[in-house]
Amino acid sequence: MKAIVTVGLKPGVLDVQGKAVANALVDLGFGEVADARVGKVIEIDLKGQDRDAAHAKVKEMCERLLANTVIESYRIEIA
């Protein structure tokens, strides 16, 4: 089974990497860019077939390792 975890900074947290990307795109001539935000995506291959159990496990992984929940939020998809 595959889990896809998307981790991004919470709204309101300054995303300097995103600002740098947006500025670089504008400098390259992409004037239609208003803003950009950068996050991480983590694809995890999991043994086992129980989707609900997998979701619970991946949530625990996010809380313990994958996301800094003080400043980051995460979204889990089980594929």
Q: Is 71 left (phi over 0), alpha (psi -120 to 50) or beta?
A: alpha
Q: Does 37 bind a second copy (CB under 8 A)?
A: yes
- What is the C-alpha separation between 23 and 46, in angstroms, rounded? 38
Q: How many residues sit close enough to a second copy to count as binding (CB under 8 A)? A: 34
Q: If binding is defined by CB under 8 A, does position 62 make contact with a second copy? A: no
> Are residues 63 and 76 in contact, defined by beta-carbon separation less than 8 angstroms?
no
Judged by CB under 8 A, the residue of 14, 64, 70, 79 near a second copy is 64
Question: Is 78 one of the binding residues for a second copy (CB under 8 A)?
Answer: no
Q: CA-to-CA distance for 48 and 29, rounded, in angstroms?
A: 48
Footprint of a second copy (CB under 8 A): 6, 8, 18, 21-22, 24-25, 28, 30-48, 54, 57, 60-61, 64-66
